[in-house]
A = this chain, B = another copy of it.
Amino acid sequence: MEEQIKKKAARGSICDCKDCVLRELMFIHVPSSGSKYVCKSKVEIKFNKGENIISSGDEIKNMLCIKDGLIKIYNISKNNKEQIISIAKPYDFSYLINIFSNNYYKYNISAIEDSTICFISIDNIKKMVLENGSFAISLLNKLSVASDKIINNFLEINKRNLRGRVAYILLFFSKEIYKSSVFILPVSRKEIAELIDMTTENVIRIMSEFRIEDIIRIHTKEIEIKDFKRLEIIMEKG
């Protein structure tokens, strides 16, 4: 990854991303001088679906901001089981989690759709924080929102039975990610299992149940939610 960054850094990309969270963090608070550090060091890199972005143990040099696509942040435990911590979408800061608490990435990140990721040097972020209090407040807010989401997600998953979990995650993709009743699942059934803490077989089985109950339509990766009301009831009551 590091080499990729250096290679592409030469291009000298400029801060032109519409609605960029960084823009919001900086330009609102620092209309005149603010962008100097961040724009200078910002690099955009495209990753193909499935490509690795960050590996556990890598040195933390950059903050990541997702311009487009979809990524997953996941842990690999000793017995090689993967636990997906979060799926992050455009304009999420992923991996704010331990950027300020650690020198090395603790978890892994990979693209689950073709994605464009914006890398901003941590050193420059720190300089900005030191020089600009409003930026610091905004950053505290983003960090807070990001961890809050993850913690809330764990609580939501843990209190549900398997049917409730599958309903929860299907509604998550439909409402939060694709904003449509029809969508292409960006992850395998195995990855869904890793995200909601159950086995692959049971994810498949329960999705089949929903299909038989005429709640969803399944065409391999293509899912259509046909009955939101019932799926929501299952999400709430299991």
Contact = CB atoms under 8 A, between A and B. Distances in A.
Interface string A117-136: 00000000010011111101
Given A131-B133, A140-B139, A97 B151 contact: yes
Interface stretch (A51-59, A75-83, A181-189): A75-83
A158 B193 CA distance: 13
Given A81-B159, A83-B155, A159-B83, A137 B148 contact: no
Stoichiometry, copies per complex: 2
Given A129-B137, A133-B129, A133-B130, A148 B102 contact: yes
Contacts of A83: 155, 158-159
A150 B151 contact: yes
B144 A99 contact: yes
A150 to B, nearest CB: 6
Given A133-B129, A137-B129, A140-B136, A151 B151 contact: yes
A98 B144 contact: yes
Contacts of A78: 236
A14 interface: no
A161 to B, nearest CB: 12
Question: What 5 pairs across the A-B complex have the smallest Cβ distances?
Answer: A130-B133, A147-B147, A101-B144, A136-B136, A100-B144
Interface of A: 75, 77-78, 81, 83, 85, 96-102, 106, 126, 129-134, 136-137, 139-141, 143-145, 147-148, 150-152, 154-155, 158-159, 197, 236
Given A147-B147, A151-B154, 8 more contacts: A98-B148, A100-B137, A101-B145, A102-B148, A131-B133, A143-B144, A147-B150, A147-B151
14 contacts: A77-B155, A77-B159, A78-B236, A98-B144, A98-B148, A100-B143, A101-B145, A106-B148, A106-B152, A129-B137, A130-B134, A133-B133, A143-B144, A158-B158
